Amino acid sequence: MNISYPAILDGGLSYPLEKNGLDIKNDLWVSELLISNPKAIKKAHIDYIDSGAEIITSSSYQASFNLLKNRGYDESKSKEIILKSIKILKHLKKKYKKNFIIAASIGPYGSSLADGSEYKGLKNIDEEKVYKFYKKKVDILDKSEADLLAFETIPSFKEAKIISEIIKSAKKKCWISFSCQNEKEINDGTHIEKCCILLKNHPKVFAIGINCTSPIYISNLIQIIKKIIINKKIIAYPNSGEVYDGKKKVWRGSVINSFESYIDEWLTLGVDILGGCCRVGPEEIKKIKTKADLFKLYGKKKFSKPFEKLKSDPVMKFLISKFGKNIDLTDRYNSNYSKALSDLIIEQQISFKAAITIKKKFNSLIKNLTNNEIIKLPSKNFQSIGISKRKIEYIKNVYEFFKTQNNNLKEMSDQEVIQYLTKIKGVGKWTAEMFLIFILFRTNIFSNNDLALINSIKINYGIKNLTENKLEKLINLWNPYKTIASLLLWKSIEEKIFYKK
C-alpha cells in the first residue's frame, strides 16, 4: 500500500445518505442500499472522494450472513452482496481515475445484532459464534479487490483476541479500531493499553486506533496508544460526540462543535490516519484534508520555518509581526480541481468582496451536480448569479477538461502545472499560479502579474520605479518561501498597514 502520512480517511457513510433523504433505520443499516439503491452509496463515496479522502471504507460494515439470511438470501447471494461493496469502489476508482485506498469494512459482532451493541460491549459473548461471524467475513473480503481490511468499532477485548487469531492467516494487512467509552477504556471497560499490547507485534496489523468515539476523548487515547505501539500507525476517526440509541436507531445529545479545533492537536500528537465516523460528513473531511496537507508542509508550528528565513528582510520582519498569526493558505482550498479553478476564474478582474458573493451563489448553483450536468447548465443560470458570458465559457471549459484529463497534479513541478492548466482556454498564468498557492500549497510561488502584490511591494519597500530586474532581485531573497511572502504582502495591502523606515 502506497500511503502518504498523515492520510485522510472518509467520514461516516450513513451521514450523507441521511442528509440526502434516505431512510436507513433498518437491521442492515447502510448495507441495505447494496440491495435497494447502490447508486446512493456511489454518490456518498463520491462526496468523500471530492472532499479529499485518500482511504475509502466500503459499505459492508453491517452486511453479515445472519442478517442477510433473515432477509431470505442464501449464502451465495449474501457473499455477492458483501462483495458488491468492494466492486462499487473499484468501479469509482477506475471511472474517476482516483488513486484512493479501498478499506474493506468489517463491523463488530454487535453489528450483526443490529441493536447498537458495539457502543456498549457485550458482557456474555459466545466465542464460537463470534469466531464464525468474523471468519466468514474475513475469508470473503480477504480474497476481494480491497487493499486492506478494516475492523471497526470493536467494543470488547475478547473480540480483539478472536480477530487477532483469525487474521494470522489473512493475506491483506488490516487496521483494528476500538470504540471507547472514555479517555482510556474501550466500551467493555478494558483499558486501551491492554488492547494495544495484544496487537503491537501482530504481523498483519499495520494500524491501531479509535473510531466512533467522542472527539473529547481522542487526544488522550492517542497519547496512550503512542506510548505502546512503535512500529505501527495510529488511526483515529471520531464521531460527532452524539450518543447512539440502538433501540430507536437515532443519535441523541449534542454535537461537539469544536471538532475542527481538535484537528491540529491530533496531527501534532502523531495520528497517522485521520477521518470521521458517524455524523461526521464531507465538509469535516475537507477541513481535515486541508489541515493535514499544511501539516505535511510546515510541521507542528505553521509557518515557523518560513518566518525564520524571511525575518532577515526588515520589511518581512515587520509584516510577520503584524500579520504572522493571521495569514492563511486554506481559505480557497477545494480538493475538486474543477471547482477550485472555477472559483479562481470567478475571481479574475473583480473585487475580493464581489468574488466571495458570486462564489457562494455558484456553490449553491452546482451543488450535487456532476461535471456533465454543470457543462449542460444553461448560460442564463450562470448569468443570474453575476457570472459573465466569457467566464461561463471558461468555467465549462474547465469541467470539460477534467472529464478526460489525468489530473495527478501533485506529482508535477510548478512549471509543469502551469503548462498543463494553461492548456485550458480561460486559465492564464495568474490563475495557474493561484492554483499552485491555494490548492496545491506550493511554497515558492510569486505572481509577477498580480497587481495587488506589485503595489504592496512598491509601498512597503518605497520603490516608485519597480523594474523587472529590481523585482527579480527582491523576490529571490524570499526563496524558497515566496508564497509566504506573498501572503504577507496581500495582507498588508488589504489592511492598509505598511512598513516605514
Per-residue pLDDT of the chain (501 residues; tens, 9 = 90+): 678 899 999 999 988 898 888 888 888 888 999 999 999 999 999 999 999 999 999 999 999 999 999 999 999 999 999 999 999 999 999 888 788 999 999 999 988 886 766 666 666 778 999 999 999 999 999 999 999 999 999 999 999 999 999 999 999 999 999 999 999 999 999 999 999 999 999 999 999 999 999 998 999 899 999 999 989 999 999 998 776 555 665 656 666 666 777 898 899 888 999 999 988 999 999 999 988 988 887 766 678 889 999 999 999 999 999 999 888 777 777 778 899 999 999 998 888 889 999 999 998 999 878 888 999 999 999 999 999 999 999 999 999 998 877 667 877 899 999 999 999 999 999 999 999 999 888 989 999 989 999 999 999 999 999 999 999 999 999 999 999 999 999 999 999 999 987
Q: How is residue 308 written as a grid cell? A: 525564520
Grid coordinates representing 444 are 515558492
Distance of CA 144 to the CA centre of its chain: 25
Q: Angle 38-50/75-96 helices, nearest 10 degrees?
A: 40
Q: What are phi and psi of 189, to 5 degrees?
A: 95, -5
0.95 exceeded by the pTM?
no
Could you tell me if 8 and 55 are in contact, meaning their C-beta atoms sit under 8 angstroms apart? yes
Query: Do residues 141 and 165 touch, judged by C-beta distance below 8 A?
Result: no
Fold of the domain built from segment(s) 337-495:
Endonuclease III; domain 1 (1.10.340)
CA dist 174 → 48, 102, 147, 158 (Å): 21, 11, 9, 18
pLDDT on residue 353? 85
What stretch(es) of the chain map to CATH 1.10.340.30? 337-495
In the chain, where does the domain assigned CATH 3.20.20.330 lie? 7-298
Chain centroid to CA 389 = 34
Contacts of the segment 436-440: beta carbons below 8 A, 24+ positions apart: 437/329, 437/483, 437/486, 438/329, 438/330, 438/331, 438/332, 438/333, 438/340, 438/344, 439/332, 439/333, 439/334, 439/337, 439/340, 440/409, 440/410
pLDDT of the residue at 415: 95
Superfamily designation of domain 7-298: Homocysteine-binding-like domain (3.20.20.330)
Phi, psi dihedral angles at 31 (to 5 degrees): -65, -20
CA distance 213 to 379: 46
Which pLDDT value is given to residue 194? Answer: 97
Residue 362, C-beta contacts closer than 8 angstroms, at least 6 positions apart? 342, 343, 346, 382, 385, 387
